[in-house]
Amino acid sequence: MDIRSVDHIELFVADADQAAARLAHAYGFAITGRSTPWGAGEAGYTSVLLRQRDITVLLTAATGSRHRAAEYVERHGDGVAVIGLTVDDAQAAFAAAVERGAEPVAPPETLGPDGGRVTFASVAGFGDVEHRFVSRERPGGPFAPGAFAETGDPAGEGLLTDIDHFAVCVPTGDLDPMIRRYAEVFGMEVTFEEQIVVGNQAMRSKVIQSRSRGLTFTILEPDTSRSPGQIDAFVAGHGGPGIQHVAYLTDDIARAVGTISARGVRFLTTPDAYYDELPGRLGQVGVPTETLRELNILADRDHGGVMLQIFTESAHPRRTYFDEVIDRRGARTFGSNNIKALYEAVERQSATGR
């Protein structure tokens, strides 16, 4: 099994139209399809499809109390509930995953005509997150033939281009078992690990990736030998393990952040001292330091090049889920040198309410 890329993400939300309007207005997504309500009575739901370059987002809201989205939203609030995984053969990937111990969620289903068929099949992931294998005879075609009447420009505004990675928070003791399970079931491998210490808090972090590097999880576990911190707070507020943030790629972070910020999205702020020290620490990074300072963008460098990144404030009522915007200019790591700045910024947000 080789997971080639992220086909789509599906968020379970309380109000799909409201969530879609926010992503379209602030982040530049195009609303390209709406389903008619599926199911009947208490099992019903409705979905909105959004696209932007190589990103596909599905927003699903329950219209009845028995749909899985209703239970998810009650337990966690709005959040990422499904990660669609591009594979060569969804039916074979599903069979292999179940044989290796994955819990089946939805058996293979094929939609569309010959030459344009799409196959979906799902297994359980971590917490309440489902993994949906997807194989497409015609990449770039309809998301789910017959389910949506797709319209609009799938490129959106082009502020964001792809999904870079997912950050996952797990309770203490869950990190290593999750790593083993994803190696055994999904063929993923650890590509980076570290112990992060921020003041009196600490956490363990491991990065796992598919062989193609098309799927990346950064998994964070709190260190209980230190004071409780933000990972503990996420797990408590979310009600168990889950996706803390989705990192969206951009090829022009100044344009993306400037535009998104002007449309009302609040980003975490960074002290001026960070930018005073930046030229001496990293040299030239491709964007003027004053622009980075103005937009609160963080910078890091590894052996491959430069990475620029920024995190939104959490607009979630539980202060759990948020987003990242990342611009990779050769760098392949995840901004270890910025973790301290990020967590100090989150602490300020928690202390001040903004």
Token pair belonging to 351 = 């202390």
- Note whether 200 and 93 are within 8 A (CB): no
Is 157 labelled a binding residue? no
H helical segments located in 239-303: 253-262, 272-282, 289-295
Instruction: Describe the chain by its helix, strand, coil percentages, rounded to 5.
Output: 30, 35, 35
- Looking at residue 37, what DSSP letter applies? P
Token pair belonging to 177 = 């078992």
305's CB contacts (< 8 A; 6+ apart) are 328, 329, 330, 331
The DSSP result for 299-320, as a single string, is: EEEETTEEEEEEEBPP-STTS-
| CA dist., res. 47 & res. 82, Å (int) | 13
- Looking at residue 158, what DSSP letter applies? S
Is 103 labelled a binding residue? no
| CA dist., res. 309 & res. 354, Å (int) | 19
Q: Kindly tell me the burial class for residue 264, based on how many C-beta atoms sit within 10 Å of its own C-beta (0-12, 13-18, 19 or more).
A: exposed
For residue 181, which phi and psi values (nearest 5 degrees)?
Answer: -65, -40
Is 245 labelled a binding residue? yes
Residues of the binding site: 165, 245, 324
Residues of the binding site for Fe cation: 165, 245, 324
